[in-house]
Structure 1
Amino acid sequence: MSSPPPSARTRGSLPAGDDGYAPADRQRFVPEPPKRVAAPERTAFERDRARVVHAAASRRLAAKTQVVGPQSDDFVRNRLTHSLEVAQVARDLARALGCSPDVTETAALAHDLGHPPFGHNGERLLDELSQPCGGFEGNAQTLRILTRLEAKTFQGAPGQPGGDVSRGLNLTRATLDACTKYPWPRAVAEPPGGVHADGTRRTTVKFGVYDDDREVFDWMRADVAGSRQCVEAQVMDLADDVAYSVHDVEDGVVAGRIDLTRLRDAGERLAVWATVREWYLPGADDAALEAAWAGLAAVPSWPQAAYDGSRRALAGLKDVTSDLIGRFCGAVQMATLAAHDGPAVRHRADLVVPTSTLLEVALLKGVAAHYVMQADDRVAAMRRQRELLAELVDAVAAGAPGTLDPAFRADHAGAGDDAAALRVVVDQVASLTDASAVGWHARLCTGRPAPGPGDRGGP
């Protein structure tokens, strides 16, 4: 997990409820009256979860890239299936630790909403193009979607001074905080590290809020001193790491790109360890990674033969996936409960991740990086994706507001300067799915019709 800038570790002294959450944790930026229609009684946090589940941005995750493109196979994961798996891991761990399962699950469901077309590859390109308006970051975009772009709640009324302002899903303070993986602005973000999936050094920094979204961000963090993650966000962050470390390997095995039995060869392992250091853990030595490998290989369900696509092999792969998730979450649960008294709620506890778990998770991520993400065909495809997205941004900007969906046209009309107008263009392009980005590019950049009626993809 990424480390925030140095910060204080104190929380306000608001009285907490029986579940450990204070009244302020359940507040919404725009106060909402009680529901007027008969409905099953739900808590504020349950309503938050329902709002994210029903959001259009959530549905679009089904057509956004995870590691292998969503069109390549009907077995591999996309951003939506990944988010559902992260949510299941996060909810179970939250329940064990004593924090709200609903808050934590909602954060997990929302954690990838800000991903643009082509995942981190598209994120990198949009960050390069949006420097005049403050850059692009998928987690900052998630906050923007939740608090502005996803239509649900408005503040004020049309025609009134300062009215008719979209406040997005208007989630509670605790849930928004849990959704914020990097609770600091770009100005104080740590320098980038590691490499992109094509082997080039990372140039993008991690941050969680754009400057023009600071009003709701500052409200959300009003009772927090410093820039630390709340514990629910830490659980979400860990669940994300665990899920994609295990599931990306599973997808790579099924796709025929990863054969875990190759790691029995010492030379093969050394090559993977080099990738682990280059991508994830620069300070990890071979001895530590060998020990982590020995721990994983000792898991009873670890594959003893190459995957052959049979039902027996698929069942065995599912067994090791389940066992590894249980292994990682169990270790974190035990370490965290041993370090804290009482429930782990918001800013009154920190997740404790044993070093052995960090090494094992990083090792699996390194396996996926080595055999899948660095593959020549994937690197070439990523280069083409960036070229397409750059041309699309230029075309949308040149034709705006006519090239924008209606909701973004209104934003463009209200843009006060070129930087604000560029942010609207980036919001539009970031909202597209992989397929709709290709369709828009065909229509705007080549003059050809979009490939299909479902390829528009805007909000």
Structure 2
Amino acid sequence: MRNAYASDPASARGRLYAEEESAFRSCFQRDRDRIIHASAFRRLKHKTQVFIEHEGDYYRTRLTHSIEVAQVARTIAGALGLNPELTEAIALAHDLGHTPFGHTGEEAMHVLMKPYGGFDHNAQAIRIVTSLERHYAEWDGLNLTWETLEGIAKHNGPVVGDLPYALADYNTVHDLELHTYASAEAQVAALADDVAYNNHDLHDGLRAELFSTDELAEMPLLDGCFKRVDDKYPGLNYYRRRHEALRRFFGLLVEDVINVSRARLGDLSPETVIDIRHAGRPMVQFSDDVFQKLKVIREFLFHRMYRAPEVIEMRKVVTRVVMELFPLFMEQTDLLPKQWRKDVAEADGETALARIVADYIAGMTDRFAIQEHARMIGGAELPDR
């Protein structure tokens, strides 16, 4: 049953460009479907989560991560009586703005774009779905509903202070009320992201042999999961044991978010989604106990996985790829594809040009960025794992 504070497609604030609604899909279902069919969504299959695409077939990519986030988000949304289609749309779109090479590429792009308004992957996702997807006859972008755009822009909370240009530009024509919290559906998508990556990064780190199962079995939250598996399945195969333990860890996180969020929503007693936006605090959260224990796991992952020597070495190489492609395209715009050169011809000044180049590079997959760098510059040898 949907709660009164769930986002109702019948009361949605509409789209920037008016269009006839579907007879058999709600506006949020259409948003979800447009995101799935977007070119940027397909490119996520060759974009880094932690490990570069060529390092192995089993590691998560941005695409598989987004699918896992959407699955978790739908589960939580259903348990909280929220709109599952809006939740899923935001979850599927939340990483559309990522550059090649994950956060490493984003950090390099932000350095390059500092003189031109900075770079932020959440803001870039808004730019993609409102401008860079150019397939429809009547508008640029996907013409998503206000609620979906709001969720993409501020699922992590209000956006205040200096805005990245990609978000600031759009907000001037379609006010997303960046100073408030987003809907409960968007907040669910944000927590589902945390649940998904905390779980699958442990899987991927084990597969990469950056740490051992025994080390995880001694960590908070995980220790109890391993104990329950060992009590129920003594002598279980090594691989099945760790899968069963991580499966229970996954469920523990989801259950914690549901229970805590139900209690917070019960305390607030919101009557509409507007009450959620103006609550002054997030409604969808982990418990304090789980959050503190997750910090220990995240710290472990930071040192043992995200900053492992092998990962650091790869970060240096792919940073070089982004840092060298950007000035090359700025100086030799004729190297850009034909459809991009049309935008360059209409660009007014260096800032406008830099933003076009940033859009082009940010849209690249890991594979394409590496290939283009090798073809035009050469010399960036990727180490094998």
TM-score category, normalised to shorter length: 0.7 to 0.9
Partner residue, 2:150: 177
CA distance 1:264–1:245, shift in 2 (3 Å): closer
Q: Deviations over 1:306-354 (max 9, x none)?
A: xxxxx94333333223211211121121122122246897443321321
Q: Deviations over 1:227-266 (max 9, x none)?
A: 323322211111111111111011111221121313677x
Partner residue, 1:233: 186
Normalization by structure 2: what TM-score?
0.86
Q: Deviations over 1:187-223 (max 9, x none)?
A: 447xxxxxxxxxxxxxxxxx695332223451x33xx
CA distance 1:128–1:154, shift in 2 (3 Å): farther
AA paired with 2:171? R
Write the mapping of 1:200-349 to structure 2, written as runs, cut at 5 A. 209-218=166-175, 220-221=176-177, 226-262=179-215, 293-300=219-226, 312-341=237-266, 346-349=273-276
Partner residue, 2:287: 354
Tell me the distance in 2 between the aligned counterparts of 1:407 and 1:344.
48
Partner residue, 2:383: none
Residue 92 of structure 1: how far off its partner (Å) = 0.5
Runs of 5+ consecutive residues of structure 1 not aligned to the other structure: 1-15, 156-164, 190-206, 266-292, 305-310, 449-459
Corresponding residue SS for 2:87: helix
Tell me the distance in 2 between the aligned counterparts of 1:361 and 1:50.
33
AA paired with 1:315? R
Tell me the distance in 1 between the aligned counterparts of 2:213 and 2:199.
12
Residue 420 of structure 1: how far off its partner (Å) = 0.8
CA distance 1:347–1:444, shift in 2 (3 Å): farther
Conserved 8 A contact 2:9-2:26: no
Partner residue, 2:44: 61
Corresponding residue SS for 1:210: helix
Tell me the distance in 1 between the aligned counterparts of 2:81 and 2:182.
17
Partner residue, 2:126: 143
Corresponding residue SS for 2:335: coil
Corresponding residue SS for 1:298: helix
Partner residue, 2:115: 132
Tell me the distance in 1 between the aligned counterparts of 2:184 and 2:314.
37
Residue 300 of structure 1: how far off its partner (Å) = 4.7
Write the mapping of 1:387-406 to structure 2, written as runs, cut at 5 A. 387-400=320-333, 402-406=334-338
Q: Deviations over 1:15-37 (max 9, x none)?
A: x98965275525111111246xx
Tell me the distance in 2 between the aligned counterparts of 1:264 and 1:184.
37
Conserved 8 A contact 2:73-2:87: yes
Tell me the distance in 2 between the aligned counterparts of 1:345 and 1:85.
29
Partner residue, 2:74: 91
Conserved 8 A contact 1:99-1:345: no
CA distance 1:20–1:392, shift in 2 (3 Å): closer
Q: Deviations over 1:150-172 (max 9, x none)?
A: 124455xxxxxxxxx52x11111
AA paired with 2:32? R
CA distance 1:211–1:406, shift in 2 (3 Å): farther
Conserved 8 A contact 1:245-1:365: yes
Runs of 5+ consecutive residues of structure 2 not aligned to the other structure: 231-235, 277-282, 381-385
CA distance 1:377–1:53, shift in 2 (3 Å): same
Q: 2:12 matched to 1:25?
A: yes
* Structure ranking higher in helix proportion: 2
Normalization by structure 1: what TM-score?
0.73
Partner residue, 2:368: 436
Tell me the distance in 2 between the aligned counterparts of 1:322 and 1:263.
13
Tell me the distance in 1 between the aligned counterparts of 2:346 and 2:160.
24
Conserved 8 A contact 1:253-1:259: yes
Corresponding residue SS for 1:33: coil
CA distance 1:208–1:357, shift in 2 (3 Å): farther
Partner residue, 1:363: 296
Tell me the distance in 2 between the aligned counterparts of 1:120 and 1:17.
37
Residue 115 of structure 1: how far off its partner (Å) = 0.6
Q: 2:94 aligns with which of 103, 111, 124?
A: 111
CA distance 1:30–1:263, shift in 2 (3 Å): closer
AA paired with 2:355? R
AA paired with 2:238? A
Tell me the distance in 1 between the aligned counterparts of 2:328 and 2:152.
32
Tell me the distance in 2 between the aligned counterparts of 1:262 and 1:18.
43
Residue 101 of structure 1: how far off its partner (Å) = 0.7
Conserved 8 A contact 1:96-1:333: yes
Corresponding residue SS for 1:424: helix
Tell me the distance in 2 between the aligned counterparts of 1:81 and 1:170.
25
Q: CA RMSD in A?
A: 2.8
Corresponding residue SS for 1:239: helix
Residue 362 of structure 1: how far off its partner (Å) = 2.3
